[in-house]
Amino acid sequence: MAQLSRLFLPLATALLICLTPARYALAQNSVSKLLLSDAQNGPRALLDGLDRLLIVNPGLVATPSSAAALARAAATPVSDFIGANLPVYQEIADKIIAAAPPERREAVRKSVIVELATFMATDIRLMPVPQPRTFGTVPIQTPQVEERGFKLGSFTVYPQLQAGMFYDSNIYATRTATVSDGVGTISPSIAIRSNWDHNALYAEAGADLTGYLKYGNENTVDWHTRLEGRIDVDPATRIILGGIALMEHEDRASPDAVEGLTPTRYWEVNGYAGLVHRIGVFNIRVGGALERITYANVIGLNGEINNHDRNHNRYTAGISVTDNANSAFRPFLEGLADIRRYDHTPDDFALPPTNVGYYRNSDGYRASAGAHFRISPAVVGEASVGIMGRYYADPRFKPVITPAADLNMRWNATQNTTAVLFLDRSIEETTLAGSPAYVYSVVGGRVEQVIIPDLIGIVRLAFARADFRQSTRWDNEADMSVGARYYFTSSFYIGADYRYTQRISEDSTINFSRHEVFVLVGAAF
């Protein structure tokens, strides 16, 4: 039997290689093109292609550097997918780490995790839904991907916990009479993903509990939930269905924050659906969403502040077409229609001479042309330019029409150094009397450096400008931070950050600067 086994295994392996399409038995420099081609048929096709590559060419994960290169090639198209992408990154990591030689598996694991972390940090589908435009308070911890989780039948469960303390030199984001405090935070979360060969289901839930040592009125309890499913109709067609529900609070530095004795809470419910279909070399995406946002009233120095006039529904529908003929340069066209309807019109901000509040219902659009690009194996990204506009129900408001632009570029300068550059422009709602909206432009970047194994240094810079239309007001903001994360084990880390934020405005009364020092610990199982 032992002799038969020794004879059968090589024959079976040779037969498997022969039956596998020859295009998978290629050198490292062809891997990216193969995986990009597979990704045109969706997440499962990408992962199946990765499986075939690992079977035919195990040398792709023989060393930490080659495994990182394979992870980079597999992760590059993931952000293009419509739907929850964390499970896809997770499976990429699982497959590569499991295929590594046992004696090098730990080193491969570390290199793959570092590699995927930079992709995940720029994939907007993995990050919490942003609060109204502000740089916020606590730095967001990029979701981590590990060879971890607990298998429950055909599902995998990922619990995670982060806790920490930070010092805030200006908790109310004021220009004068600043108030400082120490703050404690606890952030538990759990994610569940399916392990099916076809179709997919993903769910997550989490909370952020913040407690101030001296100023308890600033304490907050935020939570978020998400459920998303993907139906693989056939190799060329996928349907996405999902929903998000959350309760958050406005940071004191938000341009729309009111002078309440407590932070303003708001709730969001968002349901969305989409269809992705491939015709030849073209990918066509259509989708729509319904979003409901409501705000809580707060008590101010002169009584209750009404925020209900900010409650509104948002309806969006869009289409995009991508040409995937050239894997290094994939141009696309996209269009988005955006309708916003408020519960109460006019709002509460009445000014002379009419002494009538403002009707903030509006219809908007965004049309862009851009491309997913791969300048070299180390430089990948996405960029687009176009035009966006909004038209308002209130005759006192002029239309807001302005250029649209997006950029998200990632550069692996060396095996241990990664840089990310981003840019975004959008039209945001405002509560400023006499102004229909503000155009928000932000540009920034991040550099991550592996200092020693398990220790990663991070430097972040971001600059933003808010131009309030039909108003002389403008806000310039700067956000700069430096930090580090040290991973004691694959499940446990500790981190530290220093952060400086500043706003300089035409309205000097809202200028502020803030220093924050964070110490964080976390565990992901």
Per-residue pLDDT of the chain (525 residues; tens, 9 = 90+): 444 344 343 334 333 334 344 443 445 558 888 888 888 777 888 888 899 999 888 889 889 888 988 998 898 888 777 667 778 888 898 899 989 999 988 888 888 887 887 777 666 555 444 444 444 454 455 555 655 678 888 888 989 888 999 999 999 999 998 999 999 999 999 989 888 878 888 899 999 999 999 999 999 999 999 999 988 888 888 899 999 999 999 888 887 777 788 999 999 999 999 998 889 889 899 999 999 999 999 998 888 888 888 999 999 999 999 998 887 898 999 999 999 999 988 888 776 777 788 999 999 999 999 998 888 777 888 999 999 999 999 999 999 999 999 998 888 888 788 898 999 999 999 888 889 999 999 999 989 888 887 888 999 999 999 999 999 999 999 999 999 988 887 678 899 999 999 999 999 999 999 999 999 898 777
Q: Write out the H or E segment, with its range, that includes residue 78.
A: none
Q: Is 77 helix (H, G, I), strand (E, B) or coil?
A: coil
Q: Which candidate, 39, 14, 142, places its Cα nearest to that of 86? A: 142
Per-residue three-class SS string for 272-301: EEEEEEEECCEEEEEEEEEEEEEECCEEEC
**How big is the CA angle at 283 (ends 204 and 292), to the nearest 5 degrees?**
40
pTM for the model stands at 0.79
Domain map of the chain by residue range? 2-118, 128-524
Report the alpha-carbon distance of residue 477 to residue 493 in Å, rounded. Answer: 31
The hierarchical CATH code for the domain 128-524 is 2.40.160
**Exposure string (b/e) for 251-265, b if CB count within 10 Å is 16 or more?**
bbbbbbbbebeebbb
Q: Please list, in sequence order, all residues whose beta carbon lies within 8 angstroms of the beta carbon of residue 193, skipping any fewer than 6 positions away.
A: 84, 86, 87, 90, 155, 156, 158, 200, 201, 202, 203
Q: Report the SS3 class of residue 266.
A: strand
Indicate the helix (H) or strand (E) that contains 108.
Answer: helix 105-120
Q: What is the CA radius of gyration of the chain?
A: 25
Whether 453 and 437 have beta carbons less than 8 Å apart is answered as: no
Which stretch of DSSP H or E encloses residue 211?
strand 200-212
Q: Are the C-beta atoms of 296 and 265 separated by less than 8 Å?
A: yes
- What tokens does 11 get? 């024959």
